[in-house]
């Protein structure tokens, strides 16, 4: 299975890869998202260590049960050969109605077929008021005309 764009990345293909990841995560389908990763993909997500598509899908299922009304924006920070460094922010609320903006950085390593073999994520959560939200689009993929992180001053 191949998942273009393939490494080595250019500025254009790295941005395309990041947007594809953003769109998939905003779709919140754990099984579909997991297909972008190798069978043995290794993750560090905050303090959790995850290996393989089955664990990735289960992790995402649990995440999106807790993180309601999830909306994510990703932006490439740097790239080289088969690696991309991305920064991101996402907004969500918990079941009590408290809103958060979670900020983070991810380091991605891809295999020759364009599947992500390694994902290392560092994330911090900031409680925000509903009036402080910046990500206003219907649940799902961010519209093309919605500002990105840099345009929002994040």
What would the pLDDT profile of 69-125 be if each residue is shown by its tens digit?
Answer: 999 999 999 999 999 999 999 999 999 999 999 999 999 999 999 999 999 999 999
pLDDT tens across 24-57, in order?
999 999 999 999 999 999 999 999 999 999 999 9
Global pTM reads: 0.97
Q: At 29, is the secondary structure helix, strand, or coil?
A: coil
Domains in the chain, CATH or no CATH each:
11-132 (3.10.450.50)
Average pLDDT value for residue range 52-64: 98
**Stated length of the chain:** 154
Cα–Cα distances in angstroms (integers) from residue 10 to residues 58, 115, 143, in the given order = 32, 16, 24
Average pLDDT value for residue range 142-150: 97
């Amino acid at each position: 299975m191949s998942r273009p764009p393939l490494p080595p990345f250019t500025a254009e293909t790295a941005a395309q890869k990041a947007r594809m990841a953003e769109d998939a995560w905003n779709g919140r389908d754990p099984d579909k998202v997991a297909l972008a990763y190798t069978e043995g993909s290794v993750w560090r997500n905050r303090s959790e260590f995850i290996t393989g598509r089955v664990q990735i899908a289960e992790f995402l299922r649990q995440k999106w049960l807790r993180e309601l009304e999830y909306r994510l924006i990703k932006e490439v920070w740097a790239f080289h050969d088969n690696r991309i460094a991305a920064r991101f922010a996402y907004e969500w609320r918990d079941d009590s109605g408290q809103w958060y903006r979670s900020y983070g950085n991810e380091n991605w390593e891809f295999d020759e077929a364009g599947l992500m073999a390694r994902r290392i994520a560092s994330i911090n959560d900031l409680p925000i008021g509903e009036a402080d939200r910046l990500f206003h689009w219907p649940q799902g993929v961010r519209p093309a005309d919605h500002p990105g992180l840099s345009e929002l001053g994040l």
